Amino acid sequence: MSGIIYRAVIVDDEPLARTRIRRFLSEEPDMEIVGECADGAQAVDLIRELAPEVVFLDVQMPKMDGIEVIRQIGAHNLRTVVFVTAFNHYAVQAFEAEAVDYLLKPFDRRRFQEALQRIRRRLTEYSHETLSEQIEQLVKRFQPSSPYLQRLVIRSEGSILLVRVEDVDWLEAAGNYVCVHLGKRNHIVRDSLAHLEKQLDPARFLRVHRSAIVNLDRIRELRPTFQGDYKVVLLSGDILPLSRKYREALTRQLGIAL
């Protein structure tokens, strides 16, 4: 052992994942955990303050994902990153960059130690400038072609579903979650309706009332009620109330007058 101690920060919104990383790191004499947090905003502040050599970073987190954390901090302020995620779409892109590694949940001790070996080699053989440049190149690969969300990542029965937003009929607020309606199927996403609304193209998705956002391409008709209000009838057969607060924006987007 060279006597070098590498300081590590753990960022993951899942307590069990943080516990596993913490346990595995505690078995490594050259690794010291100096910080831990559960969301992207905290991660930005923590990493800026501590400047660790290693960051174990969850890719999918509500409000601010791992890629956005890196953008906020700046690649020049990072040494090495290990992505921790259940979504293997990131694997190929992550391995193309020398400055990062990738752990697919649930990972075991052997795979974790492989990641640490790569990290140790990079910290020993590469300069800070080289590692930062490689992280910056990785982040550029994740730059979306559209500023709006293209796919929803849905965890369902142990698998990961990728749903194109154009296939969604409507989105329904359910406390701290969102129910995604796709025809006769429903899926739960751990996010808020307000946060998703900011990521969706307003030319395609609009609120019809406080708890619902509708895909405009899925609207079949606006049906009047006896009270002078309207119902939004979807191609799926779902019928939603149209709040007067959102009526003007909807009719303007549809190009009709009520």
pLDDT, one tens digit per residue, over 228-254 is 899 999 999 999 999 999 999 999 888
Q: Which residues have C-beta within 8 Å of that of residue 19, sequence separation ≥ 6?
A: none
Indicate the pLDDT class of residue 94, thresholds 50, 70 and 90: low
- HEC-encoded secondary structure of 171-228: EEEECCEEEEEECCEEEEECCCHHHHHHHCCCCCEEEEECCEEEEHHHEEEEEECCCC
Domains identified in the chain and CATH numbers:
6-141 (3.40.50.2300), 151-254 (2.40.50.1020)
For residue 249, what are its two tokens? 């924006």
Mean pLDDT, the chain, whole residue set? 87
Among residues 171, 150, 172, which one has the least CA distance to residue 162?
150
pLDDT, one tens digit per residue, over 54-79 is 999 998 887 788 888 988 898 888 99
Q: Give the pLDDT of residue 182.
A: 93
pLDDT, one tens digit per residue, over 156-188 is 777 788 888 999 999 999 988 999 999 888 999
Q: Give the pLDDT of residue 116.
A: 94
Q: What is the mean pLDDT of residues 95-115?
A: 80
Q: What is the mean pLDDT of residues 201-222?
A: 94
